Structure 1
Amino acid sequence: MIEGMEFGYEKSCLIIAEAGVNHNGDINIAKELVDSAVKTGANAVKFQTFKAENLVTKKAPKADYQKETTGYGNQYEMLKKLELSYDDHVLLKKYCADKGVMFISTPFDFESVDLLVKLDIPLYKVSSGDLTNIPLLKYIARLDKPMIVSTGMANLGEVELAIEAINKTGNDKIILLHCTSNYPTEYEDVNLNAMITLKNAFNLPIGYSDHTKGIEVPIAAVAMGAKVIEKHFTLDKEMDGPDHRASLNPKEFKQMVDSIRKIEKAFGDGIKRCNNNEESTKRVARKSIVAKVNIEKGQIISYENVTFKRPANGISPIFIEDLIGKKAVCNINIDDCITFNNIR
């Protein structure tokens, strides 16, 4: 579905470092974010592409969390400072390619989609805020590129309408991300089981876009089947800007990536069997049928004269019924294993 990435059983999930607007409009900070994301092991670095005048009205109020992090004023003034130019995008895409990490971005308007088309990005991310923006969804979908669609603030019916709009263009390359659009999100508001609801309802690959302060929930999401993890990423949570406080710093992001990769290793192939590394343990942890007392030649084997002890050098207790009633053909000392050679 995405070049270089496979979605399905045993496949690694795509981990996106959401740099977003945490570059604060500074291309040098943006490049530092790429450098740090690469060191964490992220697969992709995602930015946001927009023109403030196309995204919000001049008097659009800030969200409560934006007021807390950037003070009062309106969204337009805040966002205008966070724009990246076309040249910035070109530079960042090349910079990401040189560093071996995927460059992607979320477009918030038609002009921004056109900008990203010129860059030939491998996939498009749709923000939760644009889930109901059917014209924009169709505009992106007609490009016939994979679309990662966040579903924060949405009910199941709204998600269904978005999928139908995309499918009508002939594009079925959709990955749904469960998301709670609070910054930060409290654990009791995560509702991670809703990710499974999305999977069951639409039979599409699912993932999780996280806004909690920690790393536990994304790890749990992967254990539950998430094929994409998106998490806000910053160089320093104390920097000015709307999203830094709800982001992970490089050390935390690396801990998250490392933990996810360990969980993926633990999935295995699903076949229940004795692992090669268990064989030595098996021999000392399992039990054999042994003589409970000294058994004389000719004596009948019964539950009264045998017991079950480690190690597993003899006959397994699984076969006890095959031994009961047999006769000892030689003397068997206490604690000696009962074998098919010393009974008949």
Structure 2
Amino acid sequence: MTVTIGSHVVGGGNPAYVIAEIGLNHNGDVATAKQLIDVAARAGANAVKFQKRTPEIATPPHMRDTLRDTPWGTMTYLEYRHRVEFGRDEYIEIGDHATLHGLDWFASPWDVPSVHFLEDLGVVAHKVASASLTDVELLQALRETGKPVILSTGMSTIDQIDHALGVLGTDRTILMHATSTYPMEPEEANLKMIATLRDRYAGIPIGYSGHERGLQISLAAVALGAVAVERHITLDRTMWGSDHAASLEPSGLELLVRDIRVIEAALGDGVKRIYEGELAPMAKLRRVPA
């Protein structure tokens, strides 16, 4: 089965769909968000993704009054969430910027009002963050949009994934293997889960959402059959914020996309043949002809 997002068909032997997750790495600044969109476009990514919250709903009650040191001074966690959240005008500006650069754009809504907010802006798809996989009300709202849904599976059990798919349906869902550690160590990658998910959920495209340092694990995921790859991106991993350390800088994203395409070309079709480039070595080296 394939799922169409914008002008891209995901799965079915098509090139891997590369999502550059900007998330909150714009730190509440539209200019930074635009710079990151430019980075994604130059690297050859297919989409950029953000995160959208209604802070009063999406911030857990026990976290709201927790103090946090930020570049804008010490503030409560709820105040911080407001400080980095984009509103309608900002999303129109960055969404148009992404579209003009040939990129799909969408976001992870963390609550039902955010689903309606994004639908009003005409996003081509929605992403469910791993933390939201058990939020049935959110999943129902996403199902009702009729849009493709990309579902990350970090911090979740198989039973929980089963239940989420029962709510979402499987006809336009892409499932992403993920481990929600930031940054993730190789021992927690468990890439063999790509095959496990593909076997269990036959027909659903299976991708990979990574939070590791470097490129090797994401590239291995493609070699193991991941049809979509999502990685956080940043202008500088030393910037302030919770996700920058587990993100790719511009040169890293460029290398990731380049190497994904090399791997796809190298995988071939599994049909044994003699290539033209082998004819001269065969004539020179094979002593006993067939």
Instruction: Report the TM-score when normalising by structure 1.
Output: 0.78
| Count of residue correspondences | 285
Contact 1:10/1:264 (<8 A) preserved: no
On the 8 A contact 1:10/1:268 being kept in 2, the answer is: no
Residue of structure 1 equivalent to 2:43: 40
Which residue is equivalent to 1:208? 208
Change (3 A) 1:6 1:133: same
**How do 1:119-130 residues align onto structure 2 when only pairs under 5 Å count?**
119-130=121-132
What is the SS of the residue equivalent to 2:127? strand
Q: CA 1:241–1:8 in 2, change beyond 3 Å: closer, same or farther?
A: closer
Give the C-alpha shift of residue 174 in structure 1: 0.8
1:143 to 145, 150, 153: 145
SS of the residue aligned with 1:240? Answer: coil
Gaps of 5+ in 2: none
Task: Determine which structure has greater relative contact order: mean sequence separation of CA pairs < 8 Å that are 6+ residues apart, divided by chain length.
Answer: 2
Counterpart contact for 1:17–1:46, Cα < 8 Å: yes
Give 1:297's aligned residue. Answer: none
User: Cα offset for 1:78?
Assistant: 3.1
Mapped to 1, the partners of 2:275 and 2:76 lie a distance apart of 60
Distance (whole Å) between structure 2 residues aligned to residue 162 and residue 221 of structure 1: 23
Partner residue in 2 for 1:29: 32
In structure 1, list runs of 5 or more residues that go unmatched: 289-315, 319-344
Deviations 1:301-340 (A, max 9, x none): xxxxxxxxxxxxxxx2x4xxxxxxxxxxxxxxxxxxxxxx
| Aligned match of 2:234 | 234
Residues 59, 74 of structure 1: 8 Å contact kept: no
Distance in 1 (alpha carbons) for counterparts of 2:125 and 2:285: 51
Q: Does the aligned pair in 1 maintain the 2:57–2:111 contact within 8 Å? A: yes
Instruction: Work out whether residues 205 and 227 of structure 1, in 8 Å CA contact, stay in contact via their aligned partners in 2.
Output: yes
SS across alignment from 1:178 = strand
Mapped to 1, the partners of 2:65 and 2:130 lie a distance apart of 16
RMSD of aligned C-alpha atoms?
A: 2.3
State the AA in 2 paired with 1:34.
I
C-alpha displacement of 1:74: 5.5
Query: 2 CA distance for matches of 1:27 and 1:155?
Result: 37
Larger Cα-atom Rg: 1
Q: Secondary structure at the match of 2:10?
A: coil
The structure-2 alpha-carbon separation of the partners of 1:57 and 1:70, relative to structure 1 and needing over 3 Å to count, comes to farther
Question: Aligned residue for 1:195?
Answer: 194
Greater strand fraction, Structure 1 or Structure 2: 2
Q: Indicate which of 1, 4, 7 corresponds to 2:7.
A: 4
